[in-house]
């Protein structure tokens, strides 16, 4: 055993390679996790008691020699200038940090899961849209005042091309290419020409859903909303407030009863206990016929929500801008979240 260490000492002393790759190979061979030194240290247990002292001394000598040799050779080679030079060959590797999913992805995936359990599939479409798919087909003809509900980014050279203001445009495309029964969910990024504040952003994410079949009624819509709010928030009390969207008739805003237990509850619900989470309604027959579906035979419902808004509620985030700053301290908090 002692001979072995002495042999290695000689080899180390005689090692004179100048090439930085060879030096690195040498370092790994001796000082690596599964290298010669590790083996020799592990073998200490098997050394006969009377040799232990000498073995130990020699081994430390060898370790020192390896360290000195690597340092010497490195300082002689140009590797010294390179940033990855090793100053301490026994230094453990940096720990590799595992990242976490973005909170918006987490919430989107949860919503998709909930709807896919009842048969919805995912459809996606372009972020740069034409007027037809974003507005006209959705019962918003040119000059219709409701176009102002969503401030739009147009492409200057061609007013027919714009950044989609909602993912309803994806549903138009889906209806144009598929006949009922339709159950589809369109998640995606949308754009509105709005000033950025704690509650609004010019880029955000939506998930919209569409269900079309024979004899679909408002009762079906309400049932689905109950299933959804219960699955996502664990809250089963909802309220439908009459509202207006050009593409649905009748239309409603959905509120969930959040409760008034804590101070935060008071603040976020403005003392009412209720929180608005999405818009919905029965698809206007005009929209169906614009998209090649017979409104005499089929009916359907649609709904749409902002992912940021839902994520802010679920994670109690007070400022929408945090989603887009990519501050690692913010993102790290979602490690291990569903
Ligand atoms: N498209 C609407 C919006 O962006 C949301 C919505 C979708 C409302 C479907 C009703 C039905 O605000």
Burial of 119 per CB tally in 10 Å (0-12, 13-18, 19+): exposed
Q: Which of 185, 246, 251, 247 is nearest to 218 (CA)?
A: 251
Q: How far, in Å, from the CA of 318 to the mean position of ligand 1? A: 23
Instruction: Assign 292 to helix, strand or coil.
Output: coil
- β pairing state of 203-213 and 182-191: antiparallel
**pLDDT of 92:** 76
Alpha-carbon Rg for the chain in angstroms: 33
Residue 301 Cβ < 6 Å to ligand 1: no
Q: What is the token pair recorded at 293?
A: 């579906």
Cα four-point dihedral sign 140, 146, 147, 151: negative
Closest residue by CA, ligand 1 atom 9: 303
- Which one of 242, 245, 254 would you pick to mutate in the ligand 1 pocket, going by the greatest count of ligand atoms within 8 A of its CB? 245
- Which of 247, 278, 301 maximizes ligand 1 atoms within 8 Å of its Cβ, making it the mutation to test the pocket? 247
Cβ neighbours of 224 (radius 10 Å)? 18
Tens-of-pLDDT digits for all 338 residues of the chain? 788 889 988 998 898 888 888 888 889 999 988 899 999 888 888 888 898 899 999 989 999 999 998 888 888 775 455 555 567 777 777 777 778 899 999 999 999 999 999 999 999 999 999 999 999 999 998 888 777 777 889 887 888 999 999 999 999 999 999 999 999 999 999 999 989 988 889 999 999 999 999 999 999 999 999 999 999 999 889 999 999 999 999 999 999 999 899 888 888 888 999 999 999 999 999 999 999 999 999 999 999 999 999 999 899 898 999 999 999 999 989 887 65
Residues 124, 128, 133, 139: is their CA dihedral positive or negative?
positive
Residues paired with residue 171 on neighbouring β-strands, in sequence order: none
Token output for 230:
């219960």
DSSP-derived secondary structure letter, 337 = -
Task: Say if ligand 1 is within 6 A of residue 135 CB.
Answer: no
Ligand 1 lined by 139 (C-beta under 6 Å): no
Give CA–CA dist 104/318, Å, rounded: 14
CA 206, 207, 211 angle in degrees (round to 5)? 145
On whether the pTM is more than 0.75, the answer is no
Token pair for 163:
């950044």
Of 217, 231, 221, residue with least CA distance to 280: 221
- Report in angstroms the alpha-carbon separations of 2 from 8, 42, 47, 75: 10, 14, 9, 31
CA of residue 92 to ligand 1 center, whole Å: 54
The rounded Å distance from CA 197 to ligand 1 centre is 22
Distance 175 CA to ligand 1 centre (A): 16
Q: What is residue 144's predicted lDDT score, i.e. its pLDDT? A: 83
CB distance 167 to ligand 1 below 6 Å = no
- The residue whose CB lies within 8 Å of the most ligand 1 atoms, and thus the one to mutate among 134, 302, 308, is 302
- What domains lie within the chain, and their CATH numbers? 2-79 (no CATH), 103-334 (3.30.930.10)
Q: How far is the CA of 231 from the centre of ligand 1 (A)?
A: 21
The answer to whether 154 and 162 have CB atoms below 8 angstroms apart is yes
Going by C-alpha positions, the residue among 158, 150, 130, 255 that lies closest to residue 194 is 150
pLDDT at 86: 60
């Amino acid at each position: 055993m002692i001979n072995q260490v002495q042999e290695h000492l000689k080899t180390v002393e005689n090692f004179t390679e100048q090439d930085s790759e060879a030096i690195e190979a040498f370092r790994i061979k001796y000082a690596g996790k599964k290298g010669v030194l590790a083996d020799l240290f592990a073998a200490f247990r098997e050394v006969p008691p009377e040799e232990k002292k000498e073995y130990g001394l020699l081994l430390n000598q060898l370790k020192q020699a390896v360290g000195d040799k690597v340092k010497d050779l490195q300082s002689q080679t140009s590797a010294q200038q390179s940033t990855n030079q090793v100053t301490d060959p026994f230094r453990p590797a940096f720990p590799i940090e595992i990242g976490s999913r973005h909170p918006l992805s987490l919430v989107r995936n949860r919503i998709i899961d909930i709807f896919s359990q009842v048969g919805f599939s995912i459809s996606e479409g372009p972020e740069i849209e034409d007027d037809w798919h974003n507005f006209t087909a959705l019962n918003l003809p040119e000059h219709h005042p409701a176009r102002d509900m969503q401030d739009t980014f147009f492409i200057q050279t061609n007013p027919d091309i714009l950044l989609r203001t909602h993912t309803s445009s994806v549903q138009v495309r889906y209806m144009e290419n598929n006949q009922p029964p339709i159950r589809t969910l369109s998640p995606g990024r949308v754009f509105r020409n709005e000033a950025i504040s704690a509650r609004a952003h010019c880029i955000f994410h939506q998930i919209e859903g569409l269900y079309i079949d024979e004899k679909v009624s408002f009762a079906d819509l309400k049932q689905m909303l109950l299933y959804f709010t219960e699955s996502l928030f664990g809250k089963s009390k909802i309220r439908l407030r009459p509202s207006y969207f050009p593409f649905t008739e009748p239309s409603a805003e959905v509120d969930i009863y959040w409760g008034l237990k804590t101070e935060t509850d008071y603040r976020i619900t403005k003392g009412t206990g209720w929180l608005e989470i999405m818009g919905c309604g029965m698809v206007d027959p005009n929209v169906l016929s614009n998209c090649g579906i017979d409104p005499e035979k089929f009916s359907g419902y649609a709904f749409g929500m902002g992912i940021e808004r839902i994520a802010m509620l679920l994670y109690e985030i007070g400022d929408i801008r945090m989603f887009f700053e990519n501050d690692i301290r913010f993102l790290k908090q979602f490690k291990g979240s569903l």
